[in-house]
Amino acid sequence: MFINISILSLTLGFFFANILSTIPAQTGEWNIMSGSIIVTLNEIINKFIYKKKYTDKFIIFKLINNIKIGVIYGLFVDAFKLGS
């Protein structure tokens, strides 16, 4: 059951990445702000997840980490789409 939830959280992160990369880019002036917000949130999540020693006990930390990984993966895929 945990594998299904992990895959669902990865795809949810991928969906969030598509939202984060398309909506602010409509005006063209929000690219730097949205990029800095995404990097800041990523680093804050990393600080809380990898600092604690009891992260293996709670499933919510694993799901948040999977969503974060999905967002990063989705942004890489969007960057490759723009580069081609």
Quote the pLDDT of residue 84: 65
Question: Which candidate, 52, 19, 20, places its Cα nearest to that of 36?
Answer: 20
Quote the pLDDT of residue 54: 62
Instruction: Assign residue 58 a region (left: φ > 0; alpha: ψ between -120 and 50; beta: otherwise).
Output: beta
* Domain boundary assignment for the chain: 2-83
Q: Which residues contact 69 (CB under 8 A, 6 or more apart)?
A: 10, 13
With 0-12 / 13-18 / 19 or more C-beta atoms within 10 angstroms meaning exposed / middle / buried, residue 15 is middle
Query: pLDDT digit of tens for each residue in the chain (84 aa)?
Result: 578 888 999 999 999 888 887 776 666 667 777 778 888 988 888 888 887 666 666 788 888 889 989 988 888 888 887 776
